[in-house]
Amino acid sequence: MNLNVVHVHLIANHVPTVGLVVALSLLLVAFAKKDEELKRITLGVFFVIALLTLPIYISGSAADIAIKDRPDISAATVRAHKDVALVAFALMGVVGAASWFGLWQARRTSRLPHWTVAAVLLLSTLTLVLMARTATLGGEIRHPEMTGRAFTASDAAKADEPAVPEAGWLTTTALAAFVINTSWVWQASETVHFIGMCLLIGVLLAVNLRILGRIKRVPFPALHRLLPLAILGFGLNAASGMLFFVAAPDQYTQNPSFFWKLAFIFVAGVQVFYLTVFDKTWVLGPGDDATVTPKIVAASGLFLWFGIVFWGTMLPFLGLRF
């Protein structure tokens, strides 16, 4: 069996849609039963779906590059799918951040603020609508019978006749053109990427080192308070990073450093989730020693984040030269 990136995308793409349906149902059940515990679990599920949506979006761009120039595929349909996918993916990121924030608040105040859950409910419903649209348009790429008529090679030629892609706003093409043609955007995004990195690593360095016993007199909840700044740093880097990716996807999709960077980001995201919600670190008062498990988790966190810096720096050098 020859499993390529197209197959990976075709399998993985079900996670955000099916996942959102499951998570939204859980949230509604939690509301109906007034079950606070279930609400928290659901927010955790939203967070993990958001983390997974990043590599799934990337796999879509990789698949796009892999099937480019095939006469039996409509480039216009692919483009429409990509444009909705980009917005759905961005909104999923917002849902993930809002869910994380709710869990962070719940950890600090031992109750989940209503407005955060309401925001997650609203945003995730909107995201589901966009994801469903993305899925439908994605399905039409290989199932033209869904549109009621067969797609032929001559249709492909016709559909692609206007060689200039439609402008519009918030389309992948328009965004890529903006990043490439506006002289300062790429440079400014790089600078933002470095600043976000310092914020993210600075906070997580302090938090993880505390667990490892370095600044032991600091109670863990005091460091926990800084975590939103780490998430802010991550958000800055996700946004600036996606500008690079959308502008030049072929620099990344076949790049082993990028693959490892994404894999590390996913596991590091789960690690931050652990720091946010679990008891074993939260209970650490001034001078308290952490047990073995949190120490292993903290050491892995440091390894992962510096690993992400490593893969990021190696992007233009390992495997592929820009």
Q: Which residues bind other proteins (CB under 8 A)?
A: 187, 190-191, 194-195, 197-199, 201-203, 205-206, 209, 214-219, 221-223, 225-226, 229, 286, 306, 309-310, 312-314, 316-318, 321-322
Q: What share of the chain is helix, strand, coil (3-state, %, to 5)?
A: 80, 0, 20
Minimum distance between the CB of residue 305 and other proteins, rounded to whole angstroms? 9
Q: Which is nearer to other proteins, 169 or 322 (CB)?
A: 322
Q: Could you tell me the smallest distance in angstroms from the CB atom of residue 265 to other proteins?
A: 16
3-state secondary structure of 193: helix
The torsion defined by the Cα of 18, 31, 113 and 127, in degrees rounded to 10, comes to: 30
Token digits for 37?
Answer: 């515990």
Kindly tell me the burial class for residue 84, based on how many C-beta atoms sit within 10 Å of its own C-beta (0-12, 13-18, 19 or more). buried
Minimum Å distance from CB 258 to other proteins? Answer: 14
Q: How far is the CB of 300 from other proteins (least distance, A)?
A: 17
Q: How far is the CB of 208 from other proteins (least distance, A)?
A: 12
As separate numbers, helices (DSSP H) first and strands (DSSP E) second, the chain gives 13, 0
Please report, as a single letter, which amino acid is at residue 302: L
Tell me how far apart the alpha carbons of residues 49 and 230 are, in angstroms, rounded to a whole number.
19
Contacts for 262 with CB less than 8 Å, ≥ 6 apart: 54, 55, 58
What separation, in Å, do the N-terminal and C-terminal C-alpha atoms of the chain show?
Answer: 31
Q: CA 176 from chain center: how many Å?
A: 19
Q: State which residue, 153 or 188, has the beta carbon closest to other proteins.
A: 188
Closest approach, Cβ 229 to other proteins, in A, equals: 7
- Among residues 126 and 299, whose Cβ is nearest to other proteins? 299
Nearer to other proteins, 34 or 321 (CB): 321
Q: Which CB sits closer to other proteins, 139 or 228? A: 228
Q: Is 284 left (phi over 0), alpha (psi -120 to 50) or beta?
A: beta
Q: Minimum distance from CB of 232 to other proteins (Å)? A: 11
Closest CA to 258 of 193, 311, 195, 222: 311
Give 296 or 317: the residue with its C-beta nearer to other proteins: 317
Q: Residue 43 or 298: which CB sits closer to other proteins?
A: 298
